[in-house]
Structure formats: structure tokens, C-alpha cells
A and B are shown apart, each in its own frame.
Chain A
Amino acid sequence: DTGVSQDPRHKITKRGQNVTFRCDPISEHNRLYWYRQTLGQGPEFLTYFQNEAQLEKSRLLSDRFSAERPKGSFSTLEIQRTEQGDSAMYLCASSPGVGAGGAEQYFGPGTRLTVT
């Protein structure tokens, strides 16, 4: 399967714990995005990487959230001191970044986080 993959698919954690999610984009894509989606809403932009550089972060992203893409390939999203309001589906997407269709994003299956 050469699509976007995410791990884990589900995560249940207690309030106050730290969690880390991983995303592996489509291999030739240089752009990678993280989104959060709650029930009945569209995906909400969190942050974006061009290769290893984090170029954009949502104003909604608190300092408890951090993301990395150290070698311009896979990315991790960490949430520290989780809160019940962090419960959501966390989606990763990648896009080629160049050429026709460069902005077209392809999503992974998501990581569903439940904070108890």
C-alpha cells in the first residue's frame, strides 16, 4: 500500500498523559499536513510541513501540541498533558507540492484519540 499511513489507529489515554502519533506520507510528497476532526465538523488545520520545515501553525494549536518531520519523511504529532477536549480524530495528509495537482491532498486513515 503506497498511501498515507498513520499509527496508531486508536488511542485511549487518561487526562494528563502525553501521546504521540505518527504519519508516513506518500513517499514522493514533500508537503505534509495535520488536521483534527470532531463529530459533525470538517477537518480543522493544525500545521503544515514543506519537507522538514514547519511552515505554518494554526492559531488554535496550543503550546501542548508539537509536531516534527525530522528528515522530511514521516512526521510525529505529540500532545502533552492531554485534556478531554483533545478527544478527536487526528488526520494526516500529504500532497506533491509541485506540478499539476500539487495542492491535492491525500489523507491517511486517522488516529482516533479518546481522553478519559
Chain B
Amino acid sequence: RKEVEQDPGPFNVPEGATVAFNCTYSNSASQSFFWYRQDCRKEPKLLMSVYSSGNEDGRFTAQLNRASQYISLLIRDSKLSDSATYLCVVNEYTGNQFYFGTGTSLTVIP
């Protein structure tokens, strides 16, 4: 079983739509959670950390559900520039390994 699993998509949504991605993780001892964005042939860039209480940054909202072992990312009012692959990342503090999902591809259509 993979440590982190994501639906690879692709998600094709019109501009202005709301889209949500989920990601599940297998280790209940995981400590830190992140969403990264990766554009084609570029390096991943940190989008946001995910806190236990949930957090929001502009049009982006991240949630953590420890009981069900998943994190989510909600993007409101999608822009063309949101088109990218979104990577879910989980850190098991004791091992300090970071596990990346395979990514979810998003295309925002005009």
C-alpha cells in the first residue's frame, strides 16, 4: 500500500468553478501535511501547510481529517493560472521522510 494516495485526475474545470482534491495517507503517526503545486517540467512549489484546525489562504482552503487519515484542498473561483499538478505531501516525523503523492492534474478551461 502506498503511503500517500491521490486521484491523478485529470480534473478539467471551467474558470470560476470550485474544485476539491482529496489525499489519503496510511500512517496514523504522520505529523506534518502539505500541498505543493508543480507546473509542467518545473520544481514543486509549496502551496500551503495543512494544520489540524484547517487553514485558508485566499481562494485555497486545506483541511485535515486525522480520524479518516485524509487531507483535502479546496480551490474556489478557479483561475486559468491554477492549472498545474497538485501534490499531497505527508511527513512522518520520526523518520523524517517526506512522502509525496503522485499528484492530481488540474486544467482550468476558459
Contacts and interface: CB of A to CB of B under 8 A. Distances in A.
B44 interface: yes
Contact of B97 (A42, A48, A101): A48
Tell me whether chain B's interface is mostly helix, strand or loop, or mixed: strand
A43 B44 contact: yes
Contact of B42 (A41, A58, A105, A109): A109
Interface residues of A, number: 22
B57 interface: no
B96 A107 contact: no
Interface in A39-93: 40-45, 48, 55-56, 58, 91
Contacts, number: 48
B100 interface: yes
B106 to A, nearest CB: 15
**From B87, B96, B102, B103, residue with most partner A Cβ within 10 Å:** B96
